[in-house]
Structure 1
Amino acid sequence: MTTTQQKLDDRYGRRSPARTRWTLGIVGAIAAVVVVLFAWMTVAAAMDDVSADATGFHIVDQHSATISFQITAPPGRTVACALEAQDVEHGVVGWKIVEFAASEQHARAFEETIPTVAEATTGLVNSCWVT
């Protein structure tokens, strides 16, 4: 390479092909590691995913409500759920956290009674999680 060509390459930031390949290899390796980590985090989060559906509720009296619901959880894991009862204005009048022992069943149905401070008009499952 001539000195004029070298001066032009230095001036305009051109690199030799070997350096460019090396840089692309490093960038490619970093990108591959990021993709693998993202995939693992997605799979790990899905393994502990719990879903819950309220199937019904019954207002027992002014100070309690019963909620029927089912959960779908990973087999062999203990699950906890936050249940709530609401009044006409959707204010929370009762709240209860219940924990369910590990089971080999994937889907299970439950019925729980929640004590309330006022008359409830509905009951629902706020959320569930693996403990």
Structure 2
Amino acid sequence: MTTQQMLDERYGRTRTRGRRWGLWIGIALGIVAAVVVAWMTVASSASAVDADTTGFRLVDDRTVEVTFQFTSPPGRGVACAVEAQDAEHGTVGWKVVEFEASEAHGRAYRATLPVTAVAVTGFVNNCWVT
């Protein structure tokens, strides 16, 4: 063994077969993890629903009308939870409204919900694909 070979081995400058395999396995696992994260991101955004409250109207002491719009994947049904609250932010009305599948990407609706006390606001709490 030459002096250079002894120094290389002593200070870890040699490439062993196991070390190369470990490097390739690490690279492969990194690629697989990146593909899984990318797939999960695309899959979750493909079925996402974005809802915005555009207004509310107090019809009387027992009824609130909420207008809202949402965007959803075409061809999928959507359900939205509409909520009314009193002055102390307590929930006084709650209703789940379901919408049939449509090819339209964005839709606007008006929901009327009964309340148990005087409400001061109404809004869309959440929407999801059914």
Q: Which moved more, 1:28-37 or 1:16-25?
A: 16-25
What secondary structure is seen at the aligned counterpart in 2 of 1:120? coil
Runs of 5+ unmatched residues, structure 2: none
Query: What does the per-residue CA deviation read over 1:23-42, in whole Å, with 9 as the maximum and x for residues that have no partner?
Result: 10001001100000000000
* TM-score between the two structures when normalised by the length of structure 1: 0.88
* Higher fraction of strand: 2
Mapped to 2, the partners of 1:16 and 1:50 lie a distance apart of: 52
Give the direction of change, closer, same or farther, for the CA distance of 1:93–1:15 in structure 2 (3 Å limit): farther
**Sequence identity (%):** 56
Mapped to 2, the partners of 1:128 and 1:40 lie a distance apart of: 23
Q: Please give the residue correspondences for 1:25-64 in structure 2 after superposition, counting only pairs within 5 Å.
A: 25-64=24-63
Mapped to 2, the partners of 1:61 and 1:51 lie a distance apart of: 29
2:102 aligns with 103
Query: What does the per-residue CA deviation read over 1:39-58, in whole Å, with 9 as the maximum and x for residues that have no partner?
Result: 00000000001010001101
Query: What does the per-residue CA deviation read over 1:40-93, in whole Å, with 9 as the maximum and x for residues that have no partner?
Result: 000000000101000110111111100000011010011000000011111110
Mapped to 1, the partners of 2:125 and 2:105 lie a distance apart of: 20
Q: Does 1:126 align with 2:89?
A: no
Mapped to 2, the partners of 1:66 and 1:118 lie a distance apart of: 14
Count, aligned residues: 126
Mapped to 1, the partners of 2:12 and 2:90 lie a distance apart of: 65
Task: Give 1:16 shift.
Answer: 4.3
Runs of 5+ unmatched residues, structure 1: none
What secondary structure is seen at the aligned counterpart in 1 of 2:101? coil
2:84 aligns with 85
Task: Give 1:14 shift.
Answer: 8.2
Runs of 4+ with >4 A deviation? 11-16
1:66 aligns with 65
What secondary structure is seen at the aligned counterpart in 2 of 1:89? coil
Mapped to 1, the partners of 2:82 and 2:13 lie a distance apart of: 64
Residue 93 of structure 1 aligns with an amino acid whose one-letter code is V
